[in-house]
Structure 1
Amino acid sequence: MNIKAQIPNLFTMLNLFSGCVALVFVSNAQYEWAFYFVSLGIFFDFFDGFFARKFGVAGPLGVQLDSLADMVTSGVVPGYVMFVLLRDYHAFGIESYVPFLGFVITLGACYRLAKFNIDTRQSDSFIGLPTPANSLFFTSLPVIADYFHQDIDLGIFYDKWALLLMTFLSAYIMNAEIPLFSLKIKNFSFAKYKLQIFFLTVSILMIVFLQILAVPLIILFYVLLSVLNNMVNKKASV
């Protein structure tokens, strides 16, 4: 057995395990721990690809395993989080079947992952929001609600229409034909990667000053900055 070939798969399995653990924490309303394990799963997800490229062992099995693991950590978990948010905030006064619409996030992530596997345009950048970023966005929401409910107005968490809008919008953005700039910096050059450096600098400052509240804001900032960058590039090419 080629040990090197199994190292990336081990990290993929750790990603899947982290997602399963996160599901348990969500079911127990331990949202902070769920967020930590989703973050840990995404960390493992990064390194499975890193080691596959480093050892030259990338192959179709790894691709399939990676998507299956992401389907749990970045598909089922955020969908379940939204289901719980819609179900447990009794102030909504909504029928019992409405919370199941939270799993639209899971459906969108599934379609995104399947499309990603056959889309050769996304080798160095992304088209549509990556599922890990989407998962971080939604798993951070109940943590933010717990942390800041006494300090800032979090009425959005008690508005069923706002939650449902975010749910359907996320499924769309994950699959929309929106090019998002790559965060991979291969050969450092300020001129070449000034957009990435600007984004990372702003993101770090947001984390320092806003803590967990920075997570969804960073993801929104990433999408908006990408859209703005696309408009600038399109205008420059005319």
Structure 2
Amino acid sequence: MNIKKHIPNLITLLNLLCGCIALVYASNGNYFAAFYFVCLGIFLDFFDGFFARLFNVASPLGLQLDSLADMVTSGVVPGFVMFFMMKNSQHEIGTHEIWNYLGFIVTLGSCYRLANFNIDTRQTESFIGLPTPANTLFILSLPLILQYSDSLILLEVLTNQWVLLLIVLVSAYILNAEVPLFSLKIKKFTLKDNALQIGFLLFSLLLLGFFQYLGVALVIISYVLLSVINNAKAKKAIS
């Protein structure tokens, strides 16, 4: 029995377990634990592919398992969290329960992206549209910003149902938008070839150090904005 070929799939299933545990904590209002179990799941999601390549045991089964696990950890969980945020928000749109379920638009957008990613050959080296793990970290940082921030402005903004609905819609859009995002992989070990990646990493560390959970959201927003700027510069250089 070749044990090596089962290691990546086991790691993927542990990612799925982390997503299930995060759901339980989120349902009990413990967004702190939910956030860190999602972080652990995303960490495992990186290493299942790493070990599959290391042991040369990548398989169609592993690909399907990976997407199914991500669907929970980076699809159902953020939609679940947005459902509760909208439920606990200022009901300016209305108090009908249907508005709360709009939070699951994030889940629908994540599902479409994960399915499309499996058949999109353009995303082998970099991403088109925001990856579901990055979107999930952004969404799960929001209730923690509310919990740990003293800013009354942030409190008012992130409890406004219109703002939350906008976040949901933009989130579902950017997951599937035809926007190339620069790769964070180090391919060549020279400063010139990795200036953007290294600069972004250092900038991200500063944001996290100064703003904590707000920094998580700012890092994801910065990643998208820098990619858009980088794309514009690349097009200008070509023309």
TM score, norm. by length of structure 1: 0.97
> Mapping of 1:1-238 within 5 angstroms?
1-89=1-89, 91-92=91-92, 93-148=94-149, 150-154=150-154, 155-238=156-239
Indicate conservation of the 8 Å contact 2:88/2:159, yes or no.
Answer: no
Counting matched residue pairs gives 237
**How far, CA to CA, are the matches of 2:151 and 2:235 in structure 1?**
42
**Shift in Å, 1:232:** 0.1
**Shift in Å, 1:86:** 0.6
Unaligned runs of 5+ in 1: none
The 10-residue stretch of structure 1 (176-185 or 85-94) with the greater mean CA deviation from structure 2 = 85-94
**Shift in Å, 1:189:** 1.4
Aligned residue for 2:153, secondary structure, equals: coil
Unaligned runs of 5+ in 2: none
**Shift in Å, 1:89:** 2.6
**How far, CA to CA, are the matches of 2:148 and 2:89 in structure 1?**
16
Indicate conservation of the 8 Å contact 2:89/2:160, yes or no.
Answer: no
**How far, CA to CA, are the matches of 2:139 and 2:174 in structure 1?**
14
**How far, CA to CA, are the matches of 2:78 and 2:40 in structure 1?**
15
**How far, CA to CA, are the matches of 1:88 and 1:207 in structure 2?**
27
TM score, norm. by length of structure 2: 0.97
Matched AA of 2:222: F
**Shift in Å, 1:90:** 5.1
**How far, CA to CA, are the matches of 1:55 and 1:81 in structure 2?**
36
Aligned residue for 2:192, secondary structure, equals: coil
**Shift in Å, 1:72:** 0.2
**How far, CA to CA, are the matches of 1:156 and 1:49 in structure 2?**
38
**Shift in Å, 1:25:** 0.5
**Shift in Å, 1:196:** 0.5
Matched AA of 1:74: S
Q: Residues 8, 88 of structure 1: CA spacing in aligned structure 2 closer, same or farther, 3 A cutoff?
A: same
Indicate conservation of the 8 Å contact 2:79/2:104, yes or no.
Answer: yes
Aligned residue for 2:212, secondary structure, equals: helix
**Shift in Å, 1:91:** 4.9
**Shift in Å, 1:96:** 1.3
Q: CA RMSD in A?
A: 1.0
**How far, CA to CA, are the matches of 1:151 and 1:164 in structure 2?**
21
**How far, CA to CA, are the matches of 1:174 and 1:43 in structure 2?**
20
